[in-house]
């Protein structure tokens, strides 16, 4: 596929855009690796906006990236947008954001 040419030329944004146009699962896995390796999360959010399942996977990967780097509040928000409530709660706890952590706990149905 043509994205390899752009990848080899280190034009990662164009390579990702081309991968995002494919419906094949193999290309999405390759795109996800590229997104993580080159930190193309914001571009990926736009590129996969029309595909809800893939967009949720990109959001989870972005949340994990933010969490790994200590941006816990931001990670929690991204995890919430991806409906990854357990991860969102964990990130908010790491941020010592008790209010959001309790809100997510309640949303998970565990706040009784």
- Tens of pLDDT along the chain (112 residues) come to 678 888 888 999 999 999 999 888 889 999 999 999 999 999 999 999 999 999 999 999 999 999 999 999 999 999 999 999 999 999 999 999 999 999 998 888 765 4
Neighbouring C-beta atoms of residue 68, cutoff 10 Å: 9
Q: Is the pTM of this model over 0.95?
A: no
- Domain residue ranges in the chain: 1-50, 52-112
Nearest one of 73, 75, 55 to 64, comparing CA atoms: 75
Assess contact for 50 and 76: CB atoms under 8 A.
Answer: no
Q: Which helix (H) or strand (E) holds 71?
A: none
């Amino acid at each position: 596929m043509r994205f390899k040419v752009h990848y080899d030329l280190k034009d990662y944004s164009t390579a990702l855009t081309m991968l995002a146009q494919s419906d094949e699962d193999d290309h999405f896995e390759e795109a996800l690796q590229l997104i993580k390796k080159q930190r193309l999360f914001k571009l990926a959010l736009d590129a996969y906006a029309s595909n809800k399942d893939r967009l949720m996977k990109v959001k989870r990967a972005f949340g994990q990236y933010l969490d790994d780097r200590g941006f816990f509040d931001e990670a929690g928000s991204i995890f919430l947008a991806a409906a990854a409530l357990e991860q969102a709660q964990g990130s908010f706890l790491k941020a010592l954001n008790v209010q959001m952590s309790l809100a997510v706990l309640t949303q998970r149905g565990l706040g009784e």
